[in-house]
Amino acid sequence: MKRLLRILLLPCALVLLMGADNQEARFQNLGGKIMCTCSCDQMLLKCNHVGCPNSDRMRKELHAAVQNISSDDEVLNWFRKNWGVTAVVEPSRHGFELLAWILPVAGLGLGLLLVIFIVRSWKLRTAPVAQADAVLDPHLESLRARAQRETEI
Amino acid sequence: MPLLGSFCLTFALALAAYSFVVGIIAAVRKDAVGFRLAETARRAGMASFIAILFSAGALVYAAMTNDFSVAYVKEHSNRALPAAYKFAALWSGQEGSVLFWCLLLSAYGFVLRLRHKVDQRLTAMASVILAGIQVFFLILVNFEARPFGILPAAAADGNGLNPLLQYPEMVIHPPLLYLGYVGLAVPFAFGLAALIMRYPGEMWIQITRRWTMVAWLFLSIGVALGGHWAYNVLGWGGYWGWDPVENASLLPWLSTTAFLHSVMMQEKRGMMKVWNAWLVFLGFMLSILGTMLTRSGMVNSVHAFAQSNIGRWFAGDYGWTGTPWHSLPYAYPGFLEVIFGVCLWFYIKNKDHLKSENKLESLVSRESSFLFNNLVLLGACFAVLCGTLFPILSEWVRGYKITVGAPFFNTIMVPIGLFLVFLTAVGPLLAWRSTSFGSVWRAFAIPALISLAVEVILIVVWTRNGIKFWRDISQIYALLAFCLSTLVITTIASEFIRGGRVLKKKLNTNLVFAMYHLTRRNMRRYGGYVVHFGIVVLIIGVAGLAFNQEQEQEMAVGDKLQIGHYTLVGQEYTQDDNANYGSDAALLDVYKNGKFITRLNPERRVYKANGGQPNTIPAKWSTLREDLYVIYAGLNPDTGHPIIKAFVNPLVNWVWIGVLIVAFGTGMALVPNTAQISVKVPQAVTVAAAIEKQSMQPAGVGK
């Protein structure tokens, strides 16, 4: 019976330990997204400003928020509401600030489209063909040969 | 002396304006008179350097001799400041830094004009464009950011230099960074000159590539030194915080890196001419943008200068004037808009000159790898630009500035960076024109297997040491980074070995000597591989960030702080006072696994001349494996005990070693080849076909 109880308790203990670990990881993760508001320009968990009027209080509030609020977004919103929008260094994923997340992805997407367009236009283009007896520009040739030498074995 | 400095600046403006206007007249005339005028314009441009040098010398002299009648010296120096930092005061404030910009720009112009015989026509036009840029900066330094403003009465002492700047690296970091920023003006000038003149051939690319590499090298070292300074001075345990000013230096670096890759397409296949021209323009515009962001106060940063009106000179001034009932719009374009307008105008006018000479034959080719490389580098550049400027956009749209910090940039940039590392591994294995999948696989199989083996070993070792990497995205990224870095290193090694084997047979020598000869025969290519190697060493160092540990504790004498394998024991706490600053310091004995290894002395200084601004001086025990980084955070006001903060930062030295390798590789690529292999071009074929024939090679042989 004792053995069975131990076997049953072990996964529970592991889950609890993982939970504790998760809470700490959440605290660290969220602390890395919040800035100390004492104008020291440091992240909350990096603020080494002794006698800082805000960081201790903010850290305690973050600990409490991590315990009581399950969603990370809500924790960050709580800090935005109580400490100002500049306290959180990650743009929100709602409203106007969502644009900050969309723009880089959209930029890359547009760039990819541009590359596809360039590749397509290159593939469709016919290479300029010179006459078989055409005289090559010696200056241009020497430059090409130099480029060739400098980029080949 | 200040009067002489001020006069020299005005004189330099007149000389630069002469060089600009007369240079344009000379370019238009194209006759014997025009030729003589061009020569006077060239000499005026060179003389402007001498005038600005005198002016900068006058400011340094004023700082060295404690001339506190000069407002700038009073703001940025004081009597107790050590001489090296008095010299550094030249670039530590707004006005001085703009003067320093002018000095470096004119110095580059001096060298360019001195070497005009490389290509007289092209250099003359490039010199005119540089003179135009000089005129802008000299107007700025003569009318808006004047370094020689005189106070009504000389002050007894100055306000002193910002304590964060009182660090030996700060004497060399800004000049190197500025050399990078300003250096991009030279390729810009050549690129625009070639476009304006419809200059035939790839001469401008040949000239520009070396100038760009030099600027890129300075920029790389400057950015790295900035990181090193932040690590050693700011005392938060890291070296890169995605601060707007740090980002501003990264933007031109990324676009210039893209150019250094895509330029090979133009040299080898006559492709991407439009792209290259705009990359050169973009690199310079981004360096101007960076200069503006640092100096205008538009973004909040620990590195930025004070809020000033200088921004409108760069970005322009737009708005409405008059009463709400009778208002009129006004628009004064800034320097950035003018540059963009000029580039766009000449591009539209002469775009037929930039037509590609060849077509893409296969998606699996070196050409397409360069395209993707450019896409990713410019995508990264755009993402950094978005994140940096988004606070300004949010202020315009919403009325308040949001903060965009490290979490945003890490989320966006880490996957982009990893993909770039993957391309760095694959790119060199692809041949020009076309490569079959089979030959790519043959070249790729061994590196891929080695990197997979490294990944498996890392997973096993980490799991045995209790590292649950699957629960932390940064550690998963680190695993990928190690794996991809191994892939790059093995592909680079295989390139050297493959080429070495070919030469070994030809020269009948051993492999090491053959590889040395291989490198000397093509310094540019193998220098490039060394740069790639340096970049992956740097990335391995950055990946170490995922395993950082930190611990903070109040420590009385005899107290112990445990972090990782290290135990810190408080031995003594001291106080000191000198004319420049007062300091509190701790003496801590460090034990690793119970064995004494060193004694660390972290310090906290309070500088007297800056209103008692505190500054931490971290102490480090640095090895190739990790840094033990200790900060004296201050005294607990309640108990009177010092607070010590310790970090264990793995692999940090790899970052600095990586930068050194990058610098070495760039230096290699700048050195001319010793022996050259003759290339026979049959007479009766097309240019493209001749080049392509030479380029045809099996996959894995490389460029």
Residue B501 burial (10 A CB sphere; 0-12, 13-18, 19+): middle
Other beta carbons within 10 angstroms of residue A37's beta carbon come to 19
Total domains, chain A: 2
- The rounded distance, in Å, linking the Cα atoms of B216 and B210 is 10
Q: What is the pTM of this model?
A: 0.85
Type and span of the H or E element at A12: helix A2-31
Residues A120 and A81 in one domain: no
Tokens (6 digits) for A112: 């990819």
> What residue numbers bound the domain in which A11 lies?
2-90
Residues A74 and A144 in one domain: no
ipTM: 0.79
**CATH number of residue A81's parent domain:** 1.10.8.640
Minimum Cα–Cα distance from A103: chain B residue: B386
Q: Point out the domain boundary residue: A71, A90, A109.
A: A90
Beta bridge partners of B328: B321
Tell me the shortest Cα–Cα distance from B567 to chain A, in angstroms: 21
Q: Residues B656, B624: contact at Cβ < 8 Å?
A: no
Q: Residues B183, B211: contact at Cβ < 8 Å?
A: yes
Other beta carbons within 10 angstroms of residue A128's beta carbon come to 14
**For position A128, what pLDDT does the model report?**
52
pLDDT surpasses 90 at A132: no
Q: Residues B225, B345: contact at Cβ < 8 Å?
A: no
Among candidates A95, A98, A43, which has minimal Cα distance to B406? A43
Give the start-to-end residue ranges of the domains of chain B: 1-166, 171-184+195-358, 434-545+655-695, 547-653
- The rounded distance, in Å, linking the Cα atoms of B631 and B645 is 5
- The rounded distance, in Å, linking the Cα atoms of B520 and B506 is 15
Residues A111 and A67 in one domain: no
Nearest to B673 among A25, A126, A149 (CB): A149
Residues A77 and A112 in one domain: no
Among candidates A77, A98, A79, A69, which has minimal Cα distance to A37? A79
Tokens (6 digits) for B323: 């009463």
Residues A14 and A61 in one domain: yes
**What single string gives the DSSP state of each residue in B146-176?**
-TTPBPSS--SS-----GGG-SGGGGTHHHH
**CB proximity under 8 Å: B 166-225 to A:** 200-203, 206
Chain A contact for B622 (CB, 8 A cutoff): no
Q: How many residues does chain B have?
A: 703
Residues A60 and A125 in one domain: no
Beta strands in B618-669 (DSSP E): 619-622, 626-635, 642-650
Averages of pLDDT over runs of 10 residues in chain B (703 residues) are 89 96 90 88 94 95 91 88 87 89 95 88 93 95 90 84 80 90 94 89 81 94 91 84 89 95 84 88 94 75 62 80 69 89 94 76 79 91 93 85 87 93 87 77 87 93 86 90 95 90 85 88 90 96 92 89 92 86 90 92 81 80 94 83 91 96 94 60 41 39 36
Beta bridge partners of B329: B320
Chain A contact for B357 (CB, 8 A cutoff): yes
- The rounded distance, in Å, linking the Cα atoms of B252 and B279 is 10
Chain A residues lying within 8 Å of B475, measured CB to CB:
none
Phi-psi region of A84 (alpha: psi -120 to 50; beta: other; left: phi over 0): left
**For position B46, what pLDDT does the model report?**
94
Tell me the shortest Cα–Cα distance from B66 to chain A, in angstroms: 31
Taking only the tens place, the pLDDT of each residue in A3-56 is 545 554 444 444 444 444 577 778 888 888 888 888 777 788 877 666 678 888
Among candidates B228, B240, B96, B251, which has minimal Cα distance to B180? B251
Question: B375–A111: do the CB atoms touch at under 8 Å?
Answer: yes
Tell me the shortest Cα–Cα distance from A69 to chain B, in angstroms: 20
Q: Point out the domain boundary residue: A65, A90, A115.
A: A90
Residue B57's contacts (CB-CB under 8 Å, 6 or more residues apart) are: B5
Residues A7 and A70 in one domain: yes
**For position A20, what pLDDT does the model report?**
45
- The rounded distance, in Å, linking the Cα atoms of B543 and B530 is 20
Question: A89–B236: do the CB atoms touch at under 8 Å?
Answer: no
| Topology of domain B547-653, CATH | Tick-borne Encephalitis virus Glycoprotein; domain 1 (2.60.98)
Q: Could you tell me the CA-to-CA distances from B416 to A45, B289, B372 in Å, in that order?
A: 27, 23, 12
Chain A residues lying within 8 Å of B357, measured CB to CB:
127-128
- The rounded distance, in Å, linking the Cα atoms of B287 and B293 is 10
- The rounded distance, in Å, linking the Cα atoms of B458 and B466 is 12
- The rounded distance, in Å, linking the Cα atoms of B411 and B405 is 11
Question: B685–A132: do the CB atoms touch at under 8 Å?
Answer: yes
Q: Mean pLDDT, chain A, as a whole number?
A: 74
Among candidates B570, B598, B597, which has minimal Cα distance to B586? B570
Residue ranges of the alpha helices (H) in B468-548? 473-507, 511-521, 523-543
Residue ranges of the alpha helices (H) in B65-93? 71-76, 83-92
**For position A6, what pLDDT does the model report?**
56
Chain B residues lying within 8 Å of A31, measured CB to CB:
none
Q: Point out the domain boundary residue: A90, A109, A125.
A: A90
Q: How many residues does chain A have?
A: 153
Residue type, B551: Q
Residues A118 and A48 in one domain: no
Question: B472–A25: do the CB atoms touch at under 8 Å?
Answer: yes
**For position B684, what pLDDT does the model report?**
39
Residues A8 and A79 in one domain: yes
Which residue in B260, B303, B408 has the most chain A C-beta atoms within 10 A of its own C-beta, making it the best mutation to test that interface?
B408
Chain A residues lying within 8 Å of B382, measured CB to CB:
103-104, 107-108, 111
- The rounded distance, in Å, linking the Cα atoms of B413 and B229 is 23
- The rounded distance, in Å, linking the Cα atoms of B431 and B697 is 6
**CB proximity under 8 Å: B 655-674 to A:** 673
Chain A contact for B643 (CB, 8 A cutoff): yes
Beta strands in B198-308 (DSSP E): none
- The rounded distance, in Å, linking the Cα atoms of B40 and B38 is 5
Q: How does DSSP classify residue B553?
A: E
Among candidates B416, B394, B390, which has minimal Cα distance to B405? B390
Minimum Cα–Cα distance from A124: chain B residue: B359
Chain A contact for B107 (CB, 8 A cutoff): no
Tell me the shortest Cα–Cα distance from B546 to chain A, in angstroms: 12
**Integer Rg of chain A from CA:** 30
**For position B677, what pLDDT does the model report?**
46
- The rounded distance, in Å, linking the Cα atoms of A15 and A32 is 25
Tell me the shortest Cα–Cα distance from B237 to chain A, in angstroms: 8
